[in-house]
Amino acid sequence: MSSLVLSFEEMEQSQLLLVGGKGLNLGELTNIHGVEVPEGFSVTTVGFQRAVEQNEVYDALLNQLAMLKPEDRDQIGEICRKIRGVLLDVTIPSEVVKAVTHYLSRFGVENAYAVRSSATAEDLPHASFAGQQDTYLNIIGRESILKHISKCWASLFTERAVIYRMQNGFDHRQVHISVIIQRMVSPQVSGILFTADPVSSNRKVVSIDAGFGLGEALVSGLVSADHYKVQDGIIVNKRIANKKLAIHGRNGRGTETQSILPDQQKEQALTDQHIVQLARIGRQIESHFGSPQDIEWCLEGDTFYIVQSRPITTLFPIPEAADGDNRVYISVGHQQMMTDAMKPLGLSFFLLTTPAPMRVAGGRLFVDVTPRLASAANRQMFIDTLGKSEPLVKDALSTILERDNFIKTIDDEPMPVPSKESVDPIDSDPVIVSDLIKRSETSIEELNQTIQTKSGSELVDFISEDIQELKKILFDPVSSRVIMAGMDAAFWINDHMYEWLGEKNVADTLSQSVPNNITSEMGLALMDVADAIRPHHGVIEYLRLVKDDQFLEKLVTIDGGKEARESIEAFLTKYGMRCSGEIDISRARWSEKPEELIPMILTNIKNFEPHASQRKFEQGRLEAIHKEQEVLERLKALPDGEQKAIETKKRIDIIRNFSGYREYPKYGMIHRYFVYKQAMLREAEQLVQHNVLNEKEDIFYLTFEELRDVVRTHELDEGLIRERKADYTLYEKLTPPRVITSDGEVLTGEYKRDNLPAGAIVGLAVSSGVIEGRARVIVNMEDADLEEGDILITKFTDPSWTPLFVSIKGLVTEVGGLMTHGAVIAREYGLPAVVGVERATERIQDGQRIRVHGTEGYIEIV
């Protein structure tokens, strides 16, 4: 055995850097008893490195490539073309040629081989890189194989492979390539097997695609495939395709496409017996690798040959359960309007804050709702209540309940329904809200003072104790009653006004410009910052060029900069603890990265006249007052109208006095989180000085309890931090499901709607009105460049997005419900809004003219 060429049998698990992910997996497959793998060998990365190590042109081109970003497509394409030319012309080292010749004589030089690339950053658990390098089929003869080894080396620098590496953070110099030479088989049928259904993600379903001839026809998309699904050894679904073409090896070399006879085109490619046998082989391979696999296979005679297996990297992890029973989980991120992955410290703080039965998976939080669904007496009430704000979740859960015996039913007693008197406060006295806010502010002031005196283990213990105070404030019964009263009043108004007056969503207008909404006030406050800066043109020009977070220090050197800085700092004093994804304590806050505010400030300067915030708030307040007067007058004209008006007025007062408070508890929680974070980072600086941490931000990759131990012992396994960072990188790329089962099945749910216009994009109506305008698709808030009248299309909006709401005329999000942040603020600002729109940022193009029907819940492309 040499380091230049290794047969599959000679490969060891530790040799990823020699044979690449694809080669390593083939070596593993060869060692699985009962799994047939066509024999072959790998020209290792050592051969590739020897071929290029003295090549100055190659080295210079790599230096040029390292300076580019994924968006520099033209330059990337030109440099890649030159690198491929160098690699095609490079001399293969004589010792590599000698080793290849030896292995070909061993396996049969006259045989046809597949020559396939295997990069060291390929077919990995966290990045598949599938299809990024080239494969050549039916290659015969030593000289031809050597020529195609050079082609595989060159394919390391196809434009698609280079851009994919850039996007996934791989250094081109650290990625090397080996080349697999594997004996070809001549299959009647071939295809792909997934040991987890790639559509539903159900780990109990094996999904098989099959077509005649070589699998290249399926992989390239040349033909449609038969599709079979197997669960627990039973075929549960079959779809037979019309297979018109097949690829076969040519007698000389290479491949050719052949037509399939008409009477064979509709034949089932695999017999039922073969389907079940193949599924069993797939499960055996999955068990060996310990994770769901994407497997390439072919059938020659009566033997299945496995030619590749790689991890399925797109599956969302399943939350861990304490038992083996079927479970159902609902995403917390979809409720909190933050579906991004969270770091371990952020996850642990949220878990410490909430009493809900939560589980962690893929860097996200999920609530286990199995007990609620198991309750025969209460599950329908639970689903119906959830369905008011989350119809997609309701539909997904209803689908699960329709399946016999997935959830074991428990016969129990109905939960007592609280009387209205026990839910609503006695009256709508606004002093109740003022007192709750004052209590929270006083508590945070005391926290700020006390925490400055703490350090070491005493600090961590103090934070642990203070979280109990946070929970008391968050779950104060009076606070909960105020929030529920505001929500119930809005539901009551909408239901009764539709019944009595035939008008939908009346509460939306009545909710505009309510007092004490800390989040909507934040958006208006940033408009006031723009007012302070607007007269100073030198400041505006300076802000347009800012690239770093030290800009406030330099601002005072510019005419008008002192006033601008004071205005920004005043804003940060009240709102600087906020940021995008704020429920994750590890996220950088506006106080830490104030430059994130600059695009929003500049947008406000461009789009508004001075004092626009007061006018905007007053306009909403007057519209709400006029709507109240109109509704009450119309009610009085009805039979029993005076009583209806009295009942309605009571609910309107509750909406006006209480609904603004709904945003405050989260503001208080985030404020407290920021105080904790600042103190923990000060402690982390001490750990860096004592060489316990490499950098203070490493604490974000520890849970709170792990941090407690590190502070106490001054000991930390560096490998743990590296592992957590790699996990987080993987989790960032995953899309969390709204609903997932313990089988890993993702249920998306559907909107049940009729009589919609053709081509309508459906979502949940959350804020009334119809608006037409230009769609601005914005995924990252810092990329926002809005004109007044634009309609914002994004994945989700948490409170940090609120300053953008003042510039838009409508809102569409992929995530959200009736009472989530974006919906609440849209109603207060009077913006037509539709949320919960699946793949909105893909289905609506930036710049398209669209019409948002906020009352009916759909979007039209105009």
The burial of 813, by beta-carbon neighbours within 10 Å (0-12 exposed, 13-18 middle, 19 or more buried), is given as buried
Rounded to an integer, what distance in angstroms lies between the CA atom of residue 800 and that of residue 607? Answer: 19
Query: What element of type H or E holds 790?
Result: strand 790-794
Three-state SS at 368: strand
C-alpha torsion 193→198→200→205, nearest 10 = 20
Contact 489, 427 (CB under 8 A): no
> Six-digit token pair at 695?
């950098």
Q: Quick one: which of 488, 437, 768, 498 has its CA closest to 650? A: 488
> Six-digit token pair at 624?
């709400």
Cα three-residue angle 576-578-579, rounded to 5 degrees: 115
> Six-digit token pair at 743?
């089988």
Contact 578, 799 (CB under 8 A): yes
Q: Quick one: which of 23, 144, 329, 5 has its CA closest to 14? A: 23
Q: Which residues contact 157 (CB under 8 A, 6 or more apart)?
A: 80, 83, 84, 87
Contact 818, 850 (CB under 8 A): no
Cα 41 to its chain centre, rounded Å, is 39
Q: Quick one: which of 155, 137, 119 has its CA closest to 44? A: 119
- Active-site residue, selected from the candidate residues 274, 334, 821, 853: 821
Count of Cβ atoms closer than 10 Å to residue 289 Cβ: 18
DSSP string covering 124-136, please? -SS---TTSS-EE
- Give the amino acid at 13: Q
Contact 284, 273 (CB under 8 A): no
Contact 176, 119 (CB under 8 A): yes
Q: 126 φ, ψ to 5°?
A: -105, -5
334 counts as catalytic: no
Question: Residue length, the chain?
Answer: 862
Sign of CA dihedral 792, 794, 797, 803: negative
Residue with tokens 């060489």: 691
Rounded to an integer, what distance in angstroms lies between the CA atom of residue 796 and that of residue 330? Answer: 17
Rounded to an integer, what distance in angstroms lies between the CA atom of residue 536 and that of residue 541? Answer: 9
Cα three-residue angle 685-670-580, rounded to 5 degrees: 85
Beta bridge partners of 778: none
DSSP string covering 384-430, please? HHHHHH-HHHHHHHHHHHTSTTSS--B--PPPPPPPHHHHS-SS--T
Q: 413 φ, ψ to 5°?
A: -90, 145
Rounded to an integer, what distance in angstroms lies between the CA atom of residue 380 and that of residue 394? Answer: 10
Cα three-residue angle 839-840-843, rounded to 5 degrees: 85
β-bridge pairing 255-259 and 177-183: unpaired
Contact 308, 326 (CB under 8 A): no
DSSP string covering 323-337, please? SSS--EEEESHHHHT
Three-state SS at 454: coil
Contact 40, 7 (CB under 8 A): yes
Residues acting as catalytic residues: 821
